[in-house]
Structure 1
Amino acid sequence: MVFSNDNKDGMEIDNLFEMIIDLYNALMKTFPDLVVILDLEGNIINISRNIQNFYATKSIEDFIGKNIIDFVVSEDREPFKEDLEKAINQGFLKMVEYNFSGANDSRFIGELSLS
């Protein structure tokens, strides 16, 4: 983070920040994989639009604020919790697969990568 008394630099930083937010929003709208952004407690704070491919009757707003563990099948919940805790402590976790519950009691495999 940069702090400056020079208004010109501040405006450039604001423009850069706006550009980063625009790129982030474009990624969330167009990335072909399902992307879920969590807080440190595992609550969903953002999710890509293609969530509707997995939960046909749900809108994005139906997921915001819910805990990701609610979507992990019961037999994978403990390992998921352990790996989430590990990721928080270590700062990252790469490519671990879990079974998630989908629409109409279906299941799908999701790959978890955290940073």
Structure 2
Amino acid sequence: MTRFTRTCLLALTLALAVTGGAFASVLEESMDAPRTRPLSRFDHDTHNETADLEESCALCHHLFDDEGELLPDESSEETACRECHDNAAKGVPKTEAAFHNRCKSCHLSVKSGPITCGQCHAAHQP
């Protein structure tokens, strides 16, 4: 790898680190824009089996009390995500932003799974 390539990669990494916190708010604000990619397909059962999440439904299907505190032993499995996320008070991310933030952060932390737009929003999905 050339010195120039390493320098560019370092600059890109630093830029992403600095702007990473702003990503969620920019993403949430842009969700009303027309879609340029197809919706992502999500095979719930296969994903949970692969990620070994069978007993951890509340990880994604979370509930909060009236004060905004997470209810760790409660699950929202019977409620559509959009019921809370698209009708939510200020500070609760819209559905698309919640998916992007939750899924991408998990995939990054376990170093497995798609993290780029085209990996989830593929033009030709099975």
TM-score (normalised: structure 1) = 0.31
Higher relative contact order, structure no. (Cα contacts within 8 Å, ≥ 6 residues apart):
2
